[in-house]
């Protein structure tokens, strides 16, 4: 008889280090909202010399109200930090610049760009930390942005996505004997829980298996921590092959959250953490 248990140690909610970016330049008062639904346009004060004796550039940043958000940026010899500070304010997330990028001035003119496309125009090596999952969140939600120059060391994967819980799996087998190779192969084929992760594609077969056990083994295969913020006895029945990790966690349960980092220069996706969260309270 097989026995499987999950032990949760030191569980706590995920801590998000969020610090709003600062906008250094003096700015005019906000103009009225754009008729197309964009956020108010902000500009730095022109024709004022900075410490280096250069004239401060002018800039404006607008973000659409609708999701997914799009951005319009106009800048003439403006400090990159001023522009990213306004993007941070609009998105309500931190936008960090490497020491080299913090010194840059930019001249830009673009509109109707989604966040990732806009960031590629702002820096040669952008990263975004996201959280995906949930019935009310069809689009991944950005948690933090990092703008670096090429060949700079990437930011730490725990700068924003942190967790203080540890989950341990205790699994035993009380059956005597190992059995022949053929018997073992047959047993694996009949196993009600089978998970494989190869080529960034996840396959899961689970027949009446505890959701917590499935998520723990998925996280183990992917190579990321599993944070159990909510204990449940829910059993699931799923069978799918070669799903992206984001699509897979959505298929498993609406209470699963996937934290990951997107490298916008290489288009690489790096999973960071999988968490099981409590259902949202029912609105009366």
Q: What is the pLDDT of residue 218?
A: 97
Q: What is the pLDDT of residue 84?
A: 97
Whole-number Cα distances in Å, 43 to 5, 33, 98: 58, 14, 24
Q: What is the pLDDT of residue 182?
A: 67
pLDDT at 111 over 80: yes
Query: In the predicted model, what is the mean pLDDT of residues 243-264?
Result: 95
**In this predicted model, what pLDDT tens digit does every residue of 141-187 receive, in sequence order?**
999 999 999 999 999 999 888 866 655 555 545 454 556 666 666 66
How, if at all, do strands 125-132 and 2-9 pair? unpaired
Number of neighbouring beta carbons within 10 Å of residue 6 = 17
pLDDT at 240 over 80: yes
Q: Domains along the chain?
A: 58-148 (3.55.50.30), 179-276 (3.55.50)
Query: In the predicted model, what is the mean pLDDT of residues 260-272?
Result: 96
When mean pLDDT is compared across 27-31, 155-159, 228-232, 248-252, the lowest value belongs to 27-31
Q: What is the pLDDT of residue 10?
A: 46
When mean pLDDT is compared across 10-19, 31-40, 69-78, 110-119, the lowest value belongs to 10-19
Phi, psi of 263 (to 5 degrees): -90, 110
Cβ(150)–Cβ(124) under 8 Å? yes
pTM greater than 0.95: no
Query: In the predicted model, what is the mean pLDDT of residues 223-242?
Result: 95
Mean predicted lDDT score pLDDT of the chain: 80
* H-run or E-run covering 238: strand 235-243
Confidence at 14, pLDDT banded by 50, 70, 90: very low
Confidence at 256, pLDDT banded by 50, 70, 90: very high
What radius of gyration do the chain's Cα atoms show? 24
**In this predicted model, what pLDDT tens digit does every residue of 56-88 receive, in sequence order?**
579 999 999 988 899 999 999 999 999 999 999
Q: What is the pLDDT of residue 147?
A: 98
Higher pLDDT, 1 or 262: 262
pLDDT at 29 over 90: no
pLDDT at 38 over 50: no
Percent of all residues in the chain with a pLDDT value above 90, rounded to a whole number: 62
Q: What is the pLDDT of residue 197?
A: 96
pLDDT at 198 over 70: yes
Query: In the predicted model, what is the mean pLDDT of residues 104-120?
Result: 97
Confidence at 189, pLDDT banded by 50, 70, 90: low
Confidence at 17, pLDDT banded by 50, 70, 90: very low
Q: What is the pLDDT of residue 87?
A: 97
Judged on CB neighbours under 10 Å (0-12, 13-18, 19+), 207 is: middle
């Amino acid at each position: 008889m097989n026995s499987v248990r999950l032990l949760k140690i030191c569980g706590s909610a995920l801590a998000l280090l969020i610090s709003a970016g600062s906008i250094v330049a003096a700015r005019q008062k906000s103009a009225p909202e754009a008729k197309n639904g964009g956020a108010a346009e902000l500009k730095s004060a022109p024709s004022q010399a900075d410490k280096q004796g250069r004239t401060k550039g002018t800039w404006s940043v607008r973000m659409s109200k609708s999701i997914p958000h799009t951005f319009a940026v106009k800048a003439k010899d403006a400090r990159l930090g001023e522009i990213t500070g306004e993007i941070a304010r609009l998105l309500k997330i931190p936008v960090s610049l490497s020491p080299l990028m913090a010194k840059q001035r930019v001249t830009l003119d673009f509109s109707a760009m989604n966040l990732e496309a806009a960031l590629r125009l702002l820096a040669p090596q952008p990263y975004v930390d996201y959280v995906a999952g949930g019935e009310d969140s069809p689009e991944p939600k950005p948690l933090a942005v990092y703008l670096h120059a090429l060949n700079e060391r990437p930011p730490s994967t725990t700068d924003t996505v942190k967790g203080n819980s540890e989950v341990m799996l205790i699994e035993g087998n009380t059956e005597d004997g190992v059995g022949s190779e053929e018997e073992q192969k047959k047993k694996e084929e009949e196993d009600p829980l089978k998970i494989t992760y190869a080529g960034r594609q996840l396959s899961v077969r689970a027949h009446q298996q505890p959701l917590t056990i499935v998520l723990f083994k998925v996280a183990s295969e992917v190579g990321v921590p599993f944070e159990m913020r909510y204990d449940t006895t829910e059993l699931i029945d799923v069978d799918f092959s070669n799903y992206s990790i984001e699509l897979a966690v959505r298929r498993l349960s609406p209470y699963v959250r996937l934290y990951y980092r997107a490298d916008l220069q290489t288009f690489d996706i790096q999973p960071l953490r999988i968490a099981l969260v409590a259902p949202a309270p029912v609105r009366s």
